[in-house]
Amino acid sequence: MFITILAAGGAAAGAEANPYGLGAALREGGLISQSVFTILVLMSVVSFYILFSKLFEQQKVINQAKRVREGFWQANSLREGSAKLDKNSAYKQLVDDGLAAQDQHGRLTDPVEAHDWLHGSLARSEGAINSKLAGGLAFLATVGSTAPFIGLFGTVIGIYRALIKIGSSGQASIDAVAGPVGEALIMTALGLVVAVPAVLAYNWLQSRNKSIAKELSAFSNDVLGFLASNGAVRPTTNTAAAPKAAPVKTNTATTTAGQAGGVQTRG
């Protein structure tokens, strides 16, 4: 988005077709306006990078959840089910951490309830996964809250320079005021262009993370129940029931006639 704006502004500045465009605003604003513009561009680039990278990570976990629902609980043991999962799967991490906690509990010298020990270990593992998925979202929130003020700072400086220029020239007509002030307001618009996508991306990614966290929490509870019951408690799998055979329809008249004929034959 900003690359297109920058290219358009550069082309307009080179051709001198629009003396009040982005290129003119950056030239007239000096180092401060150029620095503000550079900061906003960097914010936008990093925001979109975080958006697409987090969408990729979230989609991987969502696909892993689908594979878990399809066949994980059909395995005979957790170790067998864990071997079927991807190496870097978040659900494999939960299972492996639960199994490791179960092995560690037998070596504890201080008596601790097995349920509490397993629950704490699974909660730590679940929290680590959620923390990794939430990485980078703080930057989006920061961009969404600060980008408008950074653009406003560039606008204030631009208006200040415009007023100084107007005062030194002694002309206060509308044609002398509209151009410089309009150029300064471009920075406010750029700040909003950076902030709005960042806020939308932050809210969207947060919503997806909450859904993923619910799936992880449910799976963690299932693993805890399996471990605490030595495999006696496991969630029901959604396996399709075998279709029932349709009842054979017989012709009543034919059956009656056959029965009658049979009676006559026996007579």
pTM (2 decimals)?
Answer: 0.74
CB atoms within 10 A of CB 210: 10
Q: What is the mean pLDDT of the chain?
A: 79
C-alpha separations of 266 from 32, 135, 157, 263 in Å:
114, 88, 115, 5
Provide the 10 A C-beta neighbour count for residue 136: 18
Q: Which of 151-165, 203-217, 242-256 has the lowest mean pLDDT?
A: 242-256
Question: How far are the Cα atoms of 20, 49, 61, 101, 225 from residue 98, in angstroms, in the given order?
Answer: 64, 34, 19, 5, 11
Distance CA 20, CA 181 (A): 10
Q: What angle do CA 254, 257, 261 make, to 5 degrees?
A: 135
Q: Tens digits of per-residue pLDDT, 148-203?
A: 999 888 888 878 877 777 777 666 666 666 666 777 788 888 999 999 999 999 99
Side-chain-side CA neighbours of residue 181 (13 Å): 9
Domain layout of the chain by residue ranges: 2-228
What per-residue confidence (pLDDT) applies to 165? 73
**What type of residue sits at position 10?**
G
Give the whole-number percent of the chain exceeding pLDDT 90.
39
33-49 tens-digit pLDDT = 788 889 999 999 999 99
Distance CA 145, CA 64 (A): 34
Q: Are 23 and 177 spatial neighbours (Cβ–Cβ below 8 Å)?
A: no
Instruction: Answer yes or no: are the C-beta atoms of 10 and 21 closer than 8 Å.
Output: no
